[in-house]
Amino acid sequence: MRKFDTLLIANRGEIACRIIRTARDLGLRTIAVYSDADAEALHVSMADEAHPIGPASAADSYLNVDVILAAAKASGAGAIHPGYGFLSENADFARAVERAGLVFVGPSAKAIEIMGDKAIANTHMLDAGVPCVPGFQGDDQTDATLLSHAQDIGVPLMVKAAAGGGGKGMRLVANLDDLLEALTLARAEASAAFGNDTLILERAVQNARHIEIQVFADHAGNTIALGERDCSVQRRHQKVIEEAPAPGMPQTIRKRMEKAAIAAAKSVSYVGAGTVEFLLDENGEDFYFLEMNTRLQVEHPVTEMVTGLDLVALQIAVAQGRPLPVSQEDVTLTGHAIEVRLYAEDPANGFLPSIGKIHKFEMDNTLRIDTGVRNGDEVTPYYDPMLAKLIAYGDTRDEALRTLTKALDNAAVLGVTTNVAFLRDLLDHAEVQDGIATTSFLDATYPEGPPQTALTSQSITLAAELLLRSEGDAAQAQSLLPDTTLAGFSSDGGLPIPLDLSLYDETYPLTATGVGTDHITVSGDGWTHTVSSDFRVDGLRATAHHAPDGTSGLYLQTAGHHLHVTRAQPWATTNAASTGALTAPMPGLLVSLNVAAGDTVLKGDTLAVLEAMKMQHQLTANTDGVVAALHIEAGQQLSKGALILTMEDPS
């Protein structure tokens, strides 16, 4: 038995909050660590004690082993829980924790090492009799060698970071002509995220389902499976929807997968919580080992919901040397659970992360919400942009889907753009409704990416009404005040008031009449609507969430839109000189410039690569042209909107 009463959580965000909740329920004292960017974060306020560990950069804080161990020593912690991401699958960190005389809440360093290197893991799994995808996992990492093996494997193929996970350092190659660029991008992402740019190649198993088995083992070697999760709906190999159990999973396939997963865990003398991931071929019979995550998974809540087990509590019990309190015969799957990941990102703009202050964060209480943010928090460019996990449970899958759908309709996140509308749209697709989505579903559904929902005149009308209310000054355009004693007041006899709104950086010239009453009429380009003080546009109730932006505008979420509403300045015009300019879509490091002044480029060509939130973003040309000038050099940190290069018409 290795008893401890104080637990340090070497992580941040929702997973740190999640671990703190269970540890607190178990009577443990909890220690948080935080970077300069997270000084006011939710996990810091939840813990019994919190220690600063350095600058915002993850490399200088959450990945800094020495400073985390120093915090553990200073706080008197007896154990460290790594959560997921960061150091959770770092074998050297696990060894350092043990050498410091502390308990590492996770498997042995050797197990992490074997399973953390995809090349070694594949070889190990083949020896253990676990089916694997054909590929190349060699030491020779030259482009020539990888190209030669890629030709043997054939396309489509996957380029993967050997030490990777979470979709980082991973590229799908459909044409061998694109392999060299994929290798370059994958190496850069792998090096930045894991400090290891070794790559492997695998045959791409297309139209497959991504099924994973949750395993658990104690120090006595007792190893059990806690059922499966279906994580097939993915974007760039990042899971978007996860559910348990997998829809339509035959019991025979489930048992075969569980047997293979247990064999995989036993082959490395695994201890604690782990997940063995498989690709289930479109024939529904054959499956292949994908990887083993030697940590708690992001999607672990759906397993908790259908098994009734607290996986963090089990992790802590096993880490203290206790035997598993359940046997394989005790495990039953009851009901159905579905989880979606809420991100601060703009799906219609290439899923670029969104940063800024959260002015409103409200979720439906019918869900389990695992989050690390609250009203007033800042989303920074330094870490993964996931804000929360929304988990719905029902006696049946249909019931869980209905609960999740209704909750997304009522979800409000204002101040940053999120994927709420995108998630809601996904749930309406037949493949998701019927539980038959494969790993290729999202690419097939949105080949050009999710389109921006058209901004309707009704939404513009609602924005106008809310902005007039928010201004709150009767002397300025006779705005409607909260004081109902002024209802009906209008010193101008109801004459139209000019009202130019700025939405999505576009200007909408409007006129408003009836300002100062319970109903105002808003007119735009060829349309007119009446909106009431109770949010009815032409008599129809509108669903809207809104919050002031802290200055003179407001944030509005309605009809699939996240709008920043302000009055447009009359002197604001489009700068013609900026036409053809490539600017940074978000803060980040300019990793490379792929063109020079005078180069001719075609629409879709990669002009530059920007690294932000641990991902490499390719910035491409949206039209044919000639590079007129470069305005910045590679290697510089850019702010949003920074001018990178300008282009001119090729003619």
Count: domains in the chain: 5
Residue 533 lies in a domain: yes
266 and 147, same domain (yes or no): no
Strand partners, 513: 521
411 and 516, same domain (yes or no): no
Q: Which CATH number goes with the domain that contains 597?
A: 2.40.50.100
Radius of gyration of the chain (CA): 27
230 and 182, same domain (yes or no): no
pLDDT band at 586 (very low <50, low <70, confident <90, very high): confident
156 and 235, same domain (yes or no): no
Q: Examine the pLDDT at 488 and tell me if it is beyond 50.
A: no
Residue 176 lies in a domain: yes
Q: Are 369 and 390 in contact (CB under 8 A)?
A: yes
Q: Which CATH number goes with the domain that contains 185?
A: 3.30.1490.20
Q: Domain residues for 602? A: 576-648
303 and 441, same domain (yes or no): yes
pLDDT at 227: 97
Residue 135 lies in a domain: no
Pick the last residue of a domain from 105, 129, 153: 105
Q: What is the residue-averaged pLDDT of the chain?
A: 90
12 and 147, same domain (yes or no): no
264 and 295, same domain (yes or no): yes
362 and 465, same domain (yes or no): no
434 and 475, same domain (yes or no): no
Residue 450 lies in a domain: no
pLDDT at 571: 34
Pick the last residue of a domain from 181, 203, 225: 203
DSSP string, 59-76: GGTTT-HHHHHHHHHHHT
Q: Residue 190, SS3?
A: helix
Q: Residue 648, SS3?
A: strand
Q: Are 276 and 462 in contact (CB under 8 A)?
A: no
Residue 543 lies in a domain: yes
Strand partners, 600: 626
Opening angle at CA 260, ends 259 and 266, nearest 5: 90
pLDDT at 479: 34
Q: How many residues does the chain have?
A: 651
pLDDT at 382: 94
Pick the last residue of a domain from 537, 567, 597: 567
pLDDT band at 225 (very low <50, low <70, confident <90, very high): very high
pLDDT at 197: 92
pLDDT band at 638 (very low <50, low <70, confident <90, very high): confident
Residue 31 lies in a domain: yes
- Tell me the HSE value of 311 on the side-chain side, using a 13 A CA sphere: 29
- Least confident among 58-62, 275-279, 346-350: 346-350
pLDDT band at 477 (very low <50, low <70, confident <90, very high): very low
Q: Which CATH number goes with the domain that contains 477?
A: 3.30.700.30
The catalytic position among 229, 295, 341, 397 is 295
229 and 299, same domain (yes or no): yes
pTM of the model: 0.81
Q: Examine the pLDDT at 612 and tell me if it is beyond 90.
A: no
Q: Which CATH number goes with the domain that contains 218?
A: 3.30.470.20
Given the structure tokens 């408003």, which residue do they identify? Answer: 512
**% residues pLDDT > 90 (the chain):** 69
Residue 126 lies in a domain: no
DSSP code of 55? -
pLDDT band at 480 (very low <50, low <70, confident <90, very high): very low
Cα–Cα distance, 531 to 266 (Å, whole number) = 65
Residue 312 lies in a domain: yes
433 and 464, same domain (yes or no): no
Q: Is 295 a catalytic residue?
A: yes
pLDDT band at 577 (very low <50, low <70, confident <90, very high): very low
Q: Examine the pLDDT at 177 and tell me if it is beyond 90.
A: yes
pLDDT at 569: 54
Higher local confidence (pLDDT), 648 or 300? 300
Q: Which amino acid is at 197?
A: D
pLDDT at 453: 84
Give tens-digit pLDDT for 80-127.
Answer: 999 999 999 999 999 999 999 999 999 999 999 999 988 889 889 999
pLDDT at 473: 39
167 and 250, same domain (yes or no): no
Q: Is the dihedral of CA 603, 607, 610, 616 positive or negative?
A: positive
Burial category of 552 from C-beta neighbours within 10 Å (exposed 0-12, middle 13-18, buried 19 and up):
exposed
135-136/103-104 β-pairing: unpaired
